[in-house]
Amino acid sequence: MAIRTIWWVRRDLRVDDNPTLQRALRSDALLPVYVHSPSEEGPWPLGGAQKWWLARSLASHGAALERLGSRLVIVEGEAARVLSDLARAFDAGEVVWSRRFEPTSLAQEARVEEALDRAGIAWSSYLANHLFDPDEIATQTGNPYQVFTPFSRNLRARPAPAQPRGAPAALPPSTGAPKGVAIAALDLEPKPDWAGGLRAMWSPGESAAQERLDRFASGALSAYPTGRDQPSADGSSLMAPHLAFGEIGIRRVWHTAAKSASSPAESTDKFHAELLWREFATHVLVHFKHTDLKPLRAEYGRFPWRDDAAALRAWQRGRTGYPLVDAGMRQLWSTGWMHNRVRMVVASFLVKHLLLPWQDGARWFWDTLVDAELASNSLGWQWAAGCGADAAPYFRIFNPTSQAEKFDADAAYIKRWVPELARVPAKFALEPWDAPPLALASAGVTLGEEYPRPIVDHAKARERALAALAAVSRKGGVAPQPPTEG
C-alpha cells in the first residue's frame, strides 16, 4: 500500500539531520507544507527582523527541496484546518512535524492533533531542534530546574547527543501537490526597506548555516572563552539565527565543535555550555509558561517600574549618552544582532539605570533581533532584571563605563557603531562627559549636539535602583543584599 505523507515544515528549514524528514522518507509521496498563520502567533507575532529572515530562509529551503525532487508548498490559514484539509485532498495517511515549545506553538500543535484525530489521519512529532526533551529533565525531587548549573550537570551526565544524520540524496515526489502561494504574498519584507544592514551581514539558509559553522569551528572557537567577551573581535559563533530557524541541526553544531582539531577542550566546553543555556531557556519556558510576559519570581510583580517614553526611545535609538550602550543598540538596529556581552550591559541599563520594565526590552529585542527565540529572549531579560530563573541578582548593576574599559578599552567597538566619537581619543570616547573640551572640540563633537549628554547619572541611577529594590523588600519576598557593581 502506498504511503503518502505531509511534512508540516516549521522551524526546521533544513534537509540535513532532520529527524522529521528522516521519518517522512519512508513515504511513496511527500508533501512539504509551510503554514503561514499570523492569527496563531498570540502575544508574540513575528518581529520585523524575523520576517526578513523567514522570507529568505523559505526561499532557500524551497530551492533545496527542488534540487532533491520535491517542492515546498506555502499555504495560509490556521494550521489545524489547513493540514486536515490538505491531508484529505492529498490522500495522506500521516502528517509529521517537528515540535516547538513556545506556549502558542504547543497550543497550535494540540489543535492540529485534535483535528487529525477527528479526521482519522495518523500523525507524529519529533524533537528536531533541541538536544533533549525539556519534559524529560527534572531535579531529583521531580521538579523543573530553575538554576542552570545543576541543569547543565544533569545533561552532561547523560550520553552524548546522537550523531547527526546527513541529508538524503533524493526525496519522494510531491505528485498531486497544490500550487500554494508565493513567498511575496506573505508580506514579510520591510516597508520601507530598512534591511540593508541585515543583507550586508547575513545569508539566511541551510548552506550558509553550514558554512558559518565550519568557519567558526576552524577559527574563533579556539579562543572562544575569551574572544566571546570582546565585542570588537570576531569571537562569536553567530549560529543563533540559523538555530532559531532550524536551518542547521543542533546535533550537527554540537558534534562539529566537539571534533574541532584546532580547539582546546576548554573552548569546546564553553561553547557547549552556551548551547545548554538554550536548552535551559526552553526548559524554563515549558514549565513556567507565563514567563514570556510575567516574572518567574512573583514578588517582582510589585516592582515600581517607571513609565518614561522618552527614555525608552533614547535607549532604542542608541542616544543614551553612554557610548557602549549606544553602540550596542545601533549595532542591533543596523544588523539585527548584538554582541552577547553588550546585550547584558544594555539590558541592565534599561531595567536598572532607567527603571523601565524588562518587558519593554524584550519586545524591542523581539522585533529587532534576527535570532529572537521566545525562550531565550524571556530568560535573558528576566536574568537582567533579577526576576527569573538563575537570574543575576537585582542589586548587581552593570556600570557601562567600567564594562567598556574591561572589554572595549581601545573603543574600537564604540567607534565603529557611534561614528560621532570616531575621532575622540579612546580613553575619552568611553566617557565623553569627562573629556577635556579641547579633546571633543578637535574631534568635532559638542555634547548635547553631535552626541547626547548622559540621560541619567550613573551614581544616582544606581541609588534609585537600589531604593526600588529596598521598597520591594519591605513589602516582603525579596531579601535585601549588599550592592555590587559590574
Secondary structure (3-state) at 52: helix
**How far is the C-alpha of 452 from the C-alpha of 321, rounded, in Å?**
5
Query: CB within 8 A of 29, min separation 6: which ones?
Result: 2, 3, 4, 5, 90, 172, 173, 174, 175, 176
Quote the pLDDT of residue 475.
61
pLDDT, mean over the chain: 95
**How far is the C-alpha of 366 from the C-alpha of 358, rounded, in Å?**
12
Quote the pLDDT of residue 175.
85
Residues 284-320 as b/e (b if ≥16 CB within 10 A, e otherwise) read bbbbbbebbebbbbeebeebebeebeebbebbbebbb
Taking only the tens place, the pLDDT of each residue in 366-417 is 999 999 999 999 999 999 999 999 977 777 899 999 999 999 999 999 999 9
Task: Look at 208 and 261; give whichever has higher pLDDT.
Answer: 208
* Structure letter (DSSP) for residue 301: G
Quote the pLDDT of residue 349.
98
pLDDT of 272 > 70? The answer is: yes
pLDDT band for position 207 (cuts 50, 70, 90): very high
pLDDT of 477 > 80? The answer is: no
Secondary structure (3-state) at 68: coil
pLDDT band for position 480 (cuts 50, 70, 90): very low
| Cβ count near 347 (within 10 Å) | 24
Taking only the tens place, the pLDDT of each residue in 317-361 is 999 999 999 999 999 999 999 999 999 999 999 999 999 999 999
Q: What is the mean pLDDT of residues 130-141?
A: 97
pTM (two decimals): 0.96
Which of the residue ranges 1-10, 155-164, 271-280, 301-310 would you say has the lowest mean pLDDT? 1-10
Instruction: Record the cell numbers describing residue 356, joined without a space.
Output: 523601565
pLDDT of 449 > 80? The answer is: yes
pLDDT band for position 470 (cuts 50, 70, 90): confident
Secondary structure (3-state) at 9: strand
- Catalytic (active-site) positions: 274, 277, 305, 340, 358, 381
Q: CA-based diameter of the chain, in Å?
A: 84
Q: What is the mean pLDDT of residues 21-46?
A: 97
Strand partners, 485: 397
Query: CB within 8 A of 290, min separation 6: which ones?
Result: none
Q: What is the mean pLDDT of residues 258-271?
A: 95
CB 7 within 8 A of CB 32: yes
**How far is the C-alpha of 184 from the C-alpha of 461, rounded, in Å?**
47
Architecture of the domain spanning 4-128: 3-Layer(aba) Sandwich (3.40)
pLDDT band for position 486 (cuts 50, 70, 90): low
User: What is the separation of C-alpha 335 from the centre of its chain, rounded to a whole number of angstroms?
Assistant: 14
Instruction: Tell whether domain 130-164+205-287 is in CATH 1.25.40.80.
Output: yes
Q: What is the mean pLDDT of residues 70-75?
A: 97
Amino acid at 106: L
**How far is the C-alpha of 92 from the C-alpha of 174, rounded, in Å?**
11
Instruction: Tell whether domain 298-485 is in CATH 1.10.579.10.
Output: yes
Quote the pLDDT of residue 472.
80
Percent of the chain with pLDDT over 90: 93
The H-or-E segment that residue 51 falls in is helix 48-67
User: Where are the chain's structural domains?
Assistant: 4-128, 130-164+205-287, 298-485
